Structure 1
Amino acid sequence: MIAFIRTWLPIMVCSSGLLILAIRRDLNGLEAACALVGAGLSIWLLNFFYRVGVTGDRERDDEDAAREYFSRHGRWPDEDPPG
């Protein structure tokens, strides 16, 4: 379901706009095509911003886990143990 929303929904909305432009070659067709292509690109852009935000949360969680590991063991998780 998520792959559909992230990938196929924007493609389908933009494609329907291009299809309307191909069928109706007047000003109304152009306006409808621009509106649908804009809506499809907006869906894609919102998904992109969401993924960028989620990636930042994951990186922050990884950094918090590394700091907690450092507090417990006195070394960073990617360092070799002394010895």
Structure 2
Amino acid sequence: MFTPVKIVRFWLPALIFLIGAVMLVVSPDIVGLEGAALMLGGGLGVVVSNRIHQMGLKGEKDRDDEMGARQFMERYGVWPDEASEEVLDRAERAGDIEPRTPPAEEVQPPRVDPHNRPPRSSSRPDGRTRSPERRTGPRPGRRVPRR
């Protein structure tokens, strides 16, 4: 929980923000406002610099992956993502790539027939459903317009 990376990335900015909020509460005048703004700006600076550092580390990992792909291309004459199973097996036996794991079989749930539904239960005491049954012909009490 308290590794050096987590302390610098999360706890240090949180502590700086907290100090800024305390300064504003303790001294609500202009001096407290300036101190709070200064501390909040400092905490934001730590957050931004941590983010830039993380982006740099991600770029370094991408460069390492690209270098590994280029070495694979030089050795086998094909890019790793375009290689056949035979070439990948050779590279795996030679130790040029990490052992591949076979893809896990996807288990699909059984299909449910949408037309095979259980009958709806009625919440009315007399057992009738909420929607009236279809009637043929005019409804009682309504006149049928003549054409």
Q: TM-score, normalising length from structure 2?
A: 0.53
Q: Distance in 2 between matches of 1:34 and 1:11?
A: 14
Return the match for 1:45 from 48, 54, 68: 48
CA distance in 2, matches of 1:80, 1:42: 45
The Cα of 1:31 is off from its aligned counterpart by 0.7
Equivalent AA in structure 2 for residue 48 of structure 1: R
Task: Give the number of aligned pairs.
Answer: 83
Q: Which has the higher contact order (CA 8 A, sep 6+)?
A: 1
**CA offset at residue 60 of structure 1?**
1.0
Q: Does 1:7 align with 2:6?
A: no
* Segments of 4+ moved more than 3 angstroms: none
Q: Does 1:16 align with 2:19?
A: yes
- The answer to whether 1:27 aligns with 2:44 is no
Shift of 1:53: 1.1
Change (3 A) 1:82 1:25: closer
Work out the CA distance in 1 between the residues paired with 2:50 and 2:39.
Answer: 17
- The structure number with the bigger radius of gyration is 2
Q: Sequence identity of aligned pairs in percent?
A: 35
Structure with the higher fraction of residues in helix conformation: 1
Local SS of the residue matching 1:25: coil
Matched residues in 1 for 2:8 and 2:18: separation?
15
- Cα distance, 1:63 vs structure 2: 0.5
Segments of structure 1 that go 5 or more residues without pairing to the other structure are none
* 1:10-56 deviation digits (Å, cap 9, x = unpaired): 01101110111011101110011001000000011001001111111
1:82, distance to aligned residue in structure 2 (A) = 6.1
C-alpha distance in structure 1 between counterparts of 2:36 and 2:22, whole Å: 8
Structure 2 letter corresponding to 1:75 = V
Alignment equivalent of 2:39, drawn from 13, 33, 36: 36
**How does the TM-score come out when normalised to structure 1?**
0.91
